[in-house]
Chain A
Amino acid sequence: MYRLALNMLFGDRAKLAMLLCGLAFSALLMAQQSSVFFGIMSWTYTPMVNIRAQVWVSDPMVEQVNDAKPLRDTDLGRVRSVDGVAWAAPLHTSFVQARMQDGNFKLITLVGIDADTFAGAPAVLTQGRIEDLRLPDTVIVDEWGASLMGRMGVGPDGKPRSTPLKVGDTFEINDIQARIVGICKVRRAFTGGPFVYTTYDRAKGYTLGARRTLSFMLVEPQKGVAPAELCGRIERDTGLKAWTSDTVIWNWGERSLARNTFWWFWTNTGIPFSFGTAVLLGLFVGIAISGQTFYSFVLENLKYFAAIKAMGAGMGVIARMLFVQAFTAGLIGFGLGAGMAQAIGRVMIEKGMPPFVMFPQILWATFALVLGISFVSAVIGIIKVSRVDAASVFRG
């Protein structure tokens, strides 16, 4: 009977198309919005991805990675003296205004790293060398920043065009020259501004007037010492806050700074509400369109279901037929919707905006929700068919 149930479903192409549209749209909305949500949320802890260290140490009042509270330089020595620390390096992060050569200003994320060890330096340089940061007034800018801070001009088509900054170009931070010696590839941040890397000492110079410039300390545990364990020791011995740097959302531990950053944004911003609303909307639209279309499909076939009942099919068989029809439509609708979400995601990733992270878990959750929609649709149909009297087939 299940094969016939499927033939009944596929035989009514108009209804099937409508049903699939509802399910696919619903799946698309849920998968795409969830992926953009996780993409944006993953940008909130971008510094954790771009600046690599096993343990981060901060002021005890720090709640998330974008909210650095300056430490005293002497704290570095205290951390280095903790048992289990292999090395500790200073890190400066701040938002400062940079003045372009054309007079325009841009808000940048200034990152000052230790000049001796280059701990926290970008992993991939597409132009230049990291060692050139030791030269006077030098900085390394990320690719996105280089195009964002680029020189405005007119293209061959007569339209305004920005020429990305390149090695050798200069700009100013607090009236101090910054000469680009490298272009790096890093992940973009939630704040949207360019990443400008320089040495820790030079960063002090760029942020004139700041008494304390030590934002974080990057710490490497000695061999055999677990990062979480070292965090405990640092906190106990120094009274500072120590964090692990795991950024894998499904595996991060209690001490992860990325995790705390994620939940800080979850609690303190309207992002989850906004995207959650969109996902719920997708679910409700799916239930409304698919439920209504499937119900109308059942209504149209009601007299045939009544005839099948009269011929001796129990409600169990009919219920299974309806489930097969609803779940098959759900499966196809999910495939179409998830496929479209993937295609849109690819375009987004190529353009770099908005962020798009489609975890397998998102697909599984979307799949489960689409099956839920199918289940609700089938149950609505089953209730209707169960109320049909088999004797009604004799009433014309």
Chain B
Amino acid sequence: MSHLAHTVAVRATGVDMFFGTPDNQVVALKQADFEARRGELIMLVGPSGCGKTTLLSVIAGTLTPQAGTVEVFGQRLDGLGQEALTTFRRKNLGFVFQSFNLIPTLTVVENVMVPLLIQGRPYDEARERSLALIEKVGLKGREEGRPNALSGGQQQRVAIARALVHEPPLLICDEPTSALDKDTGAHIMQLVRDLSRSPERCVVVVTHDHRIFRFADRIAEMEDGRISRVVDDPKLLDTSHL
């Protein structure tokens, strides 16, 4: 790892997040602290309902916490308005979703082009860059096909290409292997790990899938709306409740 490896990429401090009405309040995050470093792949694990997805949404700027501070690559998110958050996501974030969220009526290459076109890049340039990345994730020859014609693993590769095509510093992966078999999941995680090995990038993965823990540099375990502990070695985790 480079000298930047221990520089903070994401820092959330004292984050509170509640849902529902004051009479019927659900606490999702309670004084949650989280830190991710540049050049690392960190996993967020924990039982269902512990607040993993909420923390991921707060880091991604799609949810604004009621209390606490969130900083991503030096940019404070907690004071930003919706428009600024949208701009922030456009420039800094790549997403890999659990159900891929590939648009079925678009071709593979068109799906990958979406983040570049959102940034206002010219169509031809976006297409060229997308084709290069599709080749890099091993899908050359499938560019003009529809996502539905691909296997689950191939679809997730397209999703990864889409998440990285605009070279975002922060890659957010929400259960990236839950719809995949063991081998395909391992391939996908290897790909994510390889592509994330840059000092200017950080990957945060939310997962229940203990089979992929070995790809993490660190694992943050969540419980009752906060990070209960962070480990470097997956073997140190009790995965029976995951």
Using a CB–CB cutoff of 8 Å, the interface residues on chain A facing chain B are 1, 3-4, 7-12, 301, 303-304, 307-314, 317, 389-391, 393-396
Describe A's contact surface by its main secondary structure.
helix
Known contacts A394-B53, A395-B53; is-contact A311 B110 (Cβ 8 Å) = no
Query: Are B86 and A391 in contact, with the CB atoms below 8 A?
Result: no
Chain A residue numbers with a CB within 8 Å of B146 are 11
Option from A10, A313, A395 in Cβ contact (under 8 Å) with B90: A313
Query: Are B60 and A310 in contact, with the CB atoms below 8 A?
Result: yes
Query: Are A308 and B118 in contact, with the CB atoms below 8 A?
Result: yes
Query: Are B115 and A391 in contact, with the CB atoms below 8 A?
Result: no
A390 to B62 alpha-carbon distance, docked (Å):
6
Q: Mind listing 18 A-B residue pairs with CB under 8 Å? A: A4-B114, A8-B105, A11-B146, A301-B103, A303-B99, A309-B86, A311-B95, A311-B115, A311-B118, A312-B86, A312-B90, A312-B115, A313-B86, A313-B90, A390-B89, A393-B97, A393-B101, A394-B53
Q: How far is the CB of A68 from chain B (nearest CB, A)?
A: 65
Q: Is B57 an interface residue (CB 8 A)?
A: yes
A396 to B48 alpha-carbon distance, docked (Å):
13
Q: How far is the CB of A317 from chain B (nearest CB, A)?
A: 7
Closest 7 CB pairs of A and B: A11-B105, A312-B90, A391-B62, A312-B89, A307-B101, A390-B62, A391-B57
Known contacts A301-B103, A307-B95, A312-B93; is-contact A4 B117 (Cβ 8 Å) = yes
Option from A1, A12, A395, A396 in Cβ contact (under 8 Å) with B118: A1
Chain B residue numbers with a CB within 8 Å of A303 are 99, 101
Query: Are B93 and A11 in contact, with the CB atoms below 8 A?
Result: no
Query: Are A8 and B103 in contact, with the CB atoms below 8 A?
Result: yes
Q: How far is the CB of A305 from chain B (nearest CB, A)?
A: 9
Chain B residue numbers with a CB within 8 Å of A390 are 62, 89
Known contacts A393-B95, A394-B97; is-contact A4 B90 (Cβ 8 Å) = no
Chain A residue numbers with a CB within 8 Å of B56 are 394
Residue of B nearest to A312 (CB): B90
Q: Is B138 an interface residue (CB 8 A)?
A: no
Most buried by A among B86, B93, B107, B113: B86
14 additional contacts (CB under 8 A) given A391-B60, A394-B62: A1-B117, A4-B117, A7-B107, A10-B105, A11-B104, A11-B106, A303-B99, A310-B62, A312-B88, A312-B91, A313-B86, A389-B62, A394-B57, A394-B206
Q: How far is the CB of A110 from chain B (nearest CB, A)?
A: 67
Residue of B nearest to A306 (CB): B101
Residue of B nearest to A317 (CB): B118
Known contacts A311-B90, A312-B93; is-contact A394 B105 (Cβ 8 Å) = no
From 91 to 138 in chain B, residues with beta carbon under 8 angstroms from any chain A beta carbon are 91, 93, 95, 97-99, 101, 103-107, 110, 113-115, 117-119, 123
A10 to B89 alpha-carbon distance, docked (Å):
29
Q: How far is the CB of A11 from chain B (nearest CB, A)?
A: 3
Flag B47-78 by CB within 8 Å of A: 1 or 0 each: 00000010011001011000000000000000
Option from B87, B90, B106 in Cβ contact (under 8 Å) with A8: B106
A353 to B119 alpha-carbon distance, docked (Å):
58
Residue of B nearest to A313 (CB): B118
Query: Are B99 and A391 in contact, with the CB atoms below 8 A?
Result: no
Known contacts A308-B114, A312-B86, A312-B87; is-contact A396 B62 (Cβ 8 Å) = no
